[in-house]
Structure 1
Amino acid sequence: MTPEQQRTVGARVAQLRKQRGLTQRELANAVSRTTSWLSQVERGVQPVARLDVLQLLADALGVSVQTLQPDAPTPQAAPQARISESNDLDGARLLLSGHPALDVLLADTSPEPGNLPELRDQVEELWNLTHSARFADISNKATTLVPELERTVRTCADADQAEAHGLLARTYQALAAAFVRQDESDAAWTAADRSIRAAEQSGDPLSVFAGIYRLTQAFVRLRRLDQAEHAAETAVRALERRTAKAAPAELSVLGALHLVLAHVHARSGRRAEARTELDRARQVARQLGEDRNDHDLEFGPTNVEIQAVSTAVDLGDAGEALDLGLSIDATPLSPERQARLLMDLGRAHAQRRHPGEALDCLLRAEELAPETIRTHVAARSTIRELVLVSGRSASQELLDLAERADALE
């Protein structure tokens, strides 16, 4: 399917859905997919290459398959239809649902391990997708990369074991980060746990701590704040013994763990503890002296202030959040981090009853990282609140955003 065909099919699906008075969530549920996936289909981002899924969409909309895609095979040709990878993060979830390399266990001869330089480039590409919050692309990439890495760590030479396990750890960390951002907390927990195991086998202790950071984020989304606090504090205590002689990468990991502790305390309503952890993160950032991306954590002075904005919003201090946020230049950081700042500024404006400014921030965030703004729980809650407060005076831009985010369900 060409990009133009994808857009045409997506436009037909959106038009028919609206004609039948269905929300994106209702139609997505009817075809056993996520709202995020349907949003991508309607925008022409995600192709519907599986004939059975196209048939489900057609049935739910009360039309023929050919109405959606005129050149689609007839139902009798279904056995020959091309099977594509799973959509959204569904494919990535399936990766975690069983043993990742059963073929290696049963093979009469061991398969050739993957090419490490090529795998290294693929892991970098996966992280670039993660920092851009491109969830469908992450899933598609992971469905081939994870099995290849899992086979490689079981078949490569002893001299390559450390690097292969390190790449596997980073891959699972990327998946954990993506799952957290789409509120797939159970999958994030599993991915983070696997990353910790692979990191330990790589012989890189800091990668283990980075995995703990991802695990802590999963605990926060699961609202298991006691577990999040325990995991982060245990890691911080171990790292703080080395602060005086710590290398930059160690400082990055330590600072990130202080930030996640600030987040945990803010979610618990523990204002003083949250501010204490932010101050500790600022101290580490000053010692580090620059924005870095060690272990894909994007830790540095700028990210500390972005987290300070988020913490202030969580604590209900909208004025402080706006004072902090409007002075931050986040452009050197990833699209995901820039979008997160704008999202939190939108939340702060909503708390202050500034609907126009809130909508502007949310729309700018959507331009940078569409799937983050449409799937993040706090963003969707803010959009819903703006619509309710605006009532009949809600602008068409706001209503359109609410529909894209399925925020009114």
Structure 2
Amino acid sequence: MTAEERRAFGARVAQLRKSRGLRQDQLAAAINRTASWVSQVERGVQPVVRLDVLQLLANGLGVSVQTLRPDAPVPAAPAAMDQPNDLDLARLSLSGHPALDALLGTQRQTAAPDLAELTTAVERLWSLTHGARFADLSAAIADVLPRLEQAARASGEGKRAEIHLLLSQAYQAVAAAFVRQDEADAAWVAADRAIRAAESSGHPLNVFAGIYRMAHAFVRLERLDQAEHVAGPAISALRAYTSTPNPSAEALSVLGSLHLVLALAAARGGQREQARKAIAGAREVAAQLGEDRNDFNLEFGPTNVEVQAVSTAVDLGDAGEALDLGKRIDAGRLSPERRSRLMIDLGRAHAQRRQLGEALECLLRAEEVAPESVRTHAAARETIHELIAIAGRSAPSELLKLAKRANATG
């Protein structure tokens, strides 16, 4: 889609929406997107190129795909739809080579990159990621990544390392967001680019942070052997690096985080002993660190270790342990996304014990903290399905409404 085609398509969507008396937030709720995403479509910022997303939008407007976009192909059978997400624009930003004109020498001379402005832009990517504001994040990624990629190729030696460091941090934010929206294949690509940019920056600990993002992508892809393959050697290397009398806090944060992703992989694979060993390793590092930090946007520290211990216990089916751990956690200083994830995991634990009221309360609190994280988290949707099955015909209206908002009614 060209920019002109996107604007024309967006105007058609807006016209159809208004003709049916729908507000943007009402259309968004009907198709399990956000009002921000709908707004971006109507303004021609967000492209709609995938047929499944086009079908979803047409369904919400009550029209055929061909009415919405006359040149769209007619499917031979109903299209299977992926779970909706707000990162389509970000996915397009990862597609292809980021700066082809630079390879051919046709790139126009531009002013020197403003490092302060680019730093602020990358910080905003992380703020949106931690806030689970994925539609806004997608638009920001589409703006920031091309500028960083161009700057990395056009900058002189003096600024190139700093630009590559910002590029690595941006790709890590992209990887983290894709993992949280169950787009793990895209997260893998973003993590790989983050690692390459970090190595070019001369900041080795950022390479290890990128490896952490890659391991998370492999867990989401259910390639647990690959997650262990990348996390294990990284842990060994960092153990040797931090064996000095006064290791850096940054190195400890990455080491502890890698222990946590190893625990996650082991728990998902039902390896109880390995999962508990990895959690114990993370607790040891957190005690050595002595405080909650956010180095490399990992949010590692004693509190986050216990948050992840809850998740590990739930994955292992130890609901009682998860709930006992949860009672002792004060997650107030963690990001909205991380606090929401804790409430989702506690909801899962209550669901395992068939405690419908308590589970629903946890999920509603998770939604209050970070609405998009509940709507896009596979475990949250699965828990809602389970609660509806437990309740049967007596399912409370709050649960049914939550299921509709989270696209968990099917």
Q: Please tell me the TM-score bracket, short chain as reference.
A: 0.7 to 0.9
Mapping 1:5-404, distance limit 5 Å: 8-10=22-24, 13=27, 24=31, 38-41=32-35, 48-50=42-44, 57=57, 61-62=61-62, 88-106=86-104, 107=106, 109-245=108-244, 246-404=247-405
Cα distance in 2 for partners of 1:193, 1:52 equals 25
The answer as to whether partners of 1:302 and 1:328 remain within 8 angstroms in 2 is: yes
Q: TM-score, normalised by structure 1?
A: 0.84
Cα distance in 2 for partners of 1:295, 1:285 equals 15
What displacement does 1:55 show? 9.6
Tell me the amino acid that sits aligned with residue 222 of structure 1: L
Structure 1's 244 and 90: CA in aligned 2 closer, same or farther, altered over 3 A?
same
Cα distance in 2 for partners of 1:112, 1:60 equals 45
What displacement does 1:140 show? 0.4
Cα distance in 2 for partners of 1:147, 1:42 equals 22
**Structure 1 counterpart of 2:80:** none
Q: TM-score, normalised by structure 2?
A: 0.84
Structure 1's 346 and 113: CA in aligned 2 closer, same or farther, altered over 3 A?
same
Between the aligned residues of both structures, percent identity stands at 60
The answer as to whether partners of 1:40 and 1:46 remain within 8 angstroms in 2 is: no
Cα distance in 1 for partners of 2:107, 2:285 equals 52
**Structure 2 counterpart of 1:35:** none
What displacement does 1:102 show? 1.9
Structure 1's 121 and 225: CA in aligned 2 closer, same or farther, altered over 3 A?
same
String of CA shifts for 1:64-119, please: whole Å, max 9, x gaps. Answer: 99xx9xxxxxx9xxxxxxxxxxx820011011111111233342643334211100
Structure 1's 200 and 43: CA in aligned 2 closer, same or farther, altered over 3 A?
closer
What displacement does 1:330 show? 0.3
Cα distance in 2 for partners of 1:365, 1:356 equals 14
Cα distance in 2 for partners of 1:278, 1:199 equals 27
SS at match of 1:244: coil
The answer as to whether partners of 1:252 and 1:299 remain within 8 angstroms in 2 is: yes
What RMSD over aligned residues (CA atoms) do the two structures have, in Å?
Answer: 2.9
SS at match of 2:34: helix
Structure 1's 108 and 178: CA in aligned 2 closer, same or farther, altered over 3 A?
closer
SS at match of 1:299: coil
Structure 1's 356 and 202: CA in aligned 2 closer, same or farther, altered over 3 A?
same
Which structure 2 segments of 5+ residues have no match? 1-9, 11-16, 71-84
String of CA shifts for 1:20-55, please: whole Å, max 9, x gaps. Answer: xxxx4xxxxxxxxxxxxx421499776533499699
String of CA shifts for 1:203-224, please: whole Å, max 9, x gaps. Answer: 0000000000000000001111
The answer as to whether partners of 1:104 and 1:110 remain within 8 angstroms in 2 is: no
Cα distance in 2 for partners of 1:330, 1:356 equals 22
Cα distance in 2 for partners of 1:105, 1:14 equals 41
What displacement does 1:244 show? 2.7
Which structure 1 segments of 5+ residues have no match? 18-23, 25-37, 69-74, 76-86
